[in-house]
Amino acid sequence: DGGITQSPKYLFRKEGQNVTLSCEQNLNHDAMYWYRQDPGQGLRLIYYSQIVNDFQKGDIAEGYSVSREKKESFPLTVTSAQKNPTAFYLCASKQGPWSYNEQFFGPGTRLTVL
């Protein structure tokens, strides 16, 4: 079965610690994305990557970092510089730049910083 996996589903960290969220896809999609969702809010773009070894900042990139060393993987690190990291994080992928391509989402990681 093709799809996107995110791990872990729930993550708890102490304030001041960096944490890395995993995202893997076996859809052979070129593009991958990270979104943040707060309760009752929409999806805000953190970073996206169109191709291996390349990524672009989204609207709320401060306090986050990413890497794209493999086509299948796009991990997100939430650093201690992120002022309010508690949120639901969604990873997505897309086949190409064409508008009609839908984004496929992973199940999400709910991060709670204590």
Partner 1 sequence: GQSLEQPSEVTAVEGAIVQINCTYQTSGFYGLSWYQQHDGGAPTFLSYNGLDGLEETGRFSSFLSRSDSYGYLLLQELQMKDSASYFCAVNTGGFKTIFGAGTRLFVKA
| Residue 100 vs residues 30, 34, 114: alpha-carbon distances, Å | 15, 19, 40
How many residues of this chain bind partner 1 (CB under 8 A)? 25
Q: What's the first-to-final CA gap in the chain, in angstroms?
A: 36
Single-letter residue type at 113: V
Q: How far is the CB of 12 from partner 1 (least distance, A)?
A: 17
Binding segment (CB under 8 A) for partner 1, from list 16-24, 66-74, 76-84, 98-106: 98-106
Contact 85, 111 (CB under 8 A): yes
Binding segment (CB under 8 A) for partner 1, from list 17-25, 69-77, 79-87, 92-100: 92-100
Contact 111, 9 (CB under 8 A): no
Q: How far is the CB of 65 from partner 1 (least distance, A)?
A: 19
Contacting residues toward partner 1, per CB under 8 A:
31, 33, 35, 40-45, 48, 50, 56, 58, 90, 94, 97, 99-100, 102-108
